Amino acid sequence: MEKKPLVVVAGMIRKDVMAYLSEYVEIKQWTEKETIPKEVFAEWLEDAEGVWLTKTPLDAEAIAGAKKLKVAAQSAVGYDNVDIEALTARGIPYGNTPDVLTETVAEFGFALTLTAARRIVENVNFVKEGKWMERPSNIKGVDVSRNTIGIMGMGRIGTSIARRATAFGMEVLYFNRKQRPDDAETGYKFVSLDELYEKSDVVLCVLPLTEETMYLVDKEAFKKMKNTALFVNTGRGKEVRVEDLKWALENGEIDYAALDVVDPEPYGPGMGLLETGKCLITPHIASFTDRTRYDMAMLTENNLIRGVRGEVILTPVNPEVYKE
């Protein structure tokens, strides 16, 4: 019987997906709660033909030691934990999971915006604390309709959020690497980042993390926003300087913030932002629905199976590895 190719799985994955994957490959899985130690990961990669990352760093050193590696993949869209250049230099494709989570993340991003704008969590807590009978709530929200949303990053997810915002009667401004060709039809307005900050009632970040976007939203950015602005981040935590956001909230530079991503993660009591009373934080759950996480995992699995077989993977981030 022919030996199955070895795939290292660097964390916990759905059991149904793992069962399917095991039909095609031999699996070596890290099952502890903490991240797999760097030295253990490097040792495991020595004989691996494929690797399933779970936010695990895959740097040039690890790639250099993985002499048999044919494919790397991750159940996520972002890949700031992966040295794509080092993989490409070795001719190794890397697969992510675009498209399958677009609507789910956009839905959550806009839901988070509405929740924060209308102060839903605070008012839910008002009832839980038994205060309804004492007095009416004075925790007033703000409308999103008839207001302006500025979207930082107008890719698939940003565009999907823009559709929802338009349906709620919002004007849509956006900042992107390039202007969209359909602005005349959609009514979206391509603006500079400064103009977006200055004119938006809601500033929503869905940018990918790059050298250019690392800590892009800082004290100077918050100074340019309206003091009534709501800032929302479902992009990457490292795009926002947390200490500057805390300063902006405490000093009235902006009114409120809602984050699904934060730097560092995990984030909790005593770490600053929550103590302002003006920040809603969720635990990085924008794509966290059963259907979407299953679809993401299955796409990752199929990328790995195709990759170890030497076939073209379904969603290569670096398709140039296939060019002769």
Active-site pick, 236, 241, 293, 306: 236
Residue type, 259: L
Residue 34 corresponds to which tokens in the numbers above? 């903490």
Report the SS3 class of residue 62. helix
Closest CA relative to residue 227, chosen from 249, 195, 243, 244: 249
List 32, 43, 61, 265, catalytic entry: 265
Phi-psi map region of 233: left, alpha, beta (phi>0 left; psi -120 to 50 alpha) = beta
Please confirm, yes or no, whether 236 is among the known catalytic residues.
yes
Sorted by sequence, the CB contacts under 8 Å of residue 272 that are 6+ apart come out as 242, 243, 246
Q: Collapsing DSSP states into helix, strand and coil, what is residue 171?
A: strand
Q: Residue 205's closest CA among 78, 108, 107, 109?
A: 109
Q: Catalytic one among 118, 163, 284, 309? A: 284
Q: Give the E-state strand segments of 57-155 in sequence order.
A: 71-74, 94-95, 148-152
| 32 given a catalytic annotation | no
Show which residues are catalytic.
Answer: 236, 265, 284
